[in-house]
Amino acid sequence: MENNEYIHSKSYDIIIIKIISLLWGDYLDWQNVIPFAPLFTPLIASGAIYFSFRQYRFQKYLGFVERQLDQFYGPMLGCINYLDANRALRIFLYEKESEVMNDNDIDEFLDNKVRLEYINNSIAYDNKIFLEQVFPQYRKMLSLFSEHSSCVLPETMKHYQTLYKFVGIWERHFAKAVNREVVARLDFEEDKLIDLYLNIRQTVDKLQKELLSKKSHENLKNKIK
């Protein structure tokens, strides 16, 4: 048993000597180094542990950034993009409708009754879309904050209360649990969420660039190895 341990120890010393030779082979007198090979063992082992730990922490950090993008910031940006697209479409249609309604040639063929019916249908449709498709996006964003709070950066979390108020006021309005005049005086329109939207876009851009940069650096290191 002792012989086996001795052989194993000597084999390990030989490995250490080979490592040293790769690093400093041109500068050392091996007749003097060989007896001290066991002294290098703790140093080499400590270095290996240190770099392994650094690699572990690096991979763990990359995993966290990916989780932030996949579970919170990516879905949040998806909601915001949908809201932006819906808003842009409504503005575009409103501008075109205004052009048509103000056109004298068209005006001759539209009496007030038809015009009023058209306006009412347009308002009813927008309200339906808001309830069924648009407002659920705000609810989804609120849920993302609650379900993935560990992924939310502090500079984003500070906007949570604003979003919560926005959703809460509208839900009370839908349930007729608050007077319409009160809602009007609160002046709590979507522009209150602009800072949140901006933060989400900037954070997604920052995290994506950071992830790409660190992965590229890691791939370069692996190629060098």
Per residue in 100-140, pLDDT (tens digit) is: 767 655 555 566 677 778 778 888 999 999 999 999 999 99
Determine which helix (DSSP H) or strand (DSSP E) holds 13, and give its type and residue range.
Answer: helix 2-24
Alpha-carbon distances of 104 from 5, 27, 114, rounded to whole Å: 102, 95, 16
By CB neighbour count within 10 A (0-12 exposed, 13-18 middle, 19+ buried), where does 221 fall?
exposed
- Write the pLDDT tens digit of every residue in 168-210: 999 998 898 988 888 778 877 899 999 999 999 999 999 999 8
- Write the pLDDT tens digit of every residue in 54-111: 555 666 678 889 999 999 999 999 999 999 999 999 999 888 877 776 765 555 556 6
Q: What residues contact 138, with CB distance under 8 A and at least 6 apart?
A: 79, 163, 166, 167, 170
Q: What is this structure's pTM?
A: 0.69
**Which residue bears the tokens 């650094």?**
54
For residue 17, the tally of other CB atoms under 10 A from its CB is 18
Domain map (residue ranges) of the chain? 2-55, 62-224
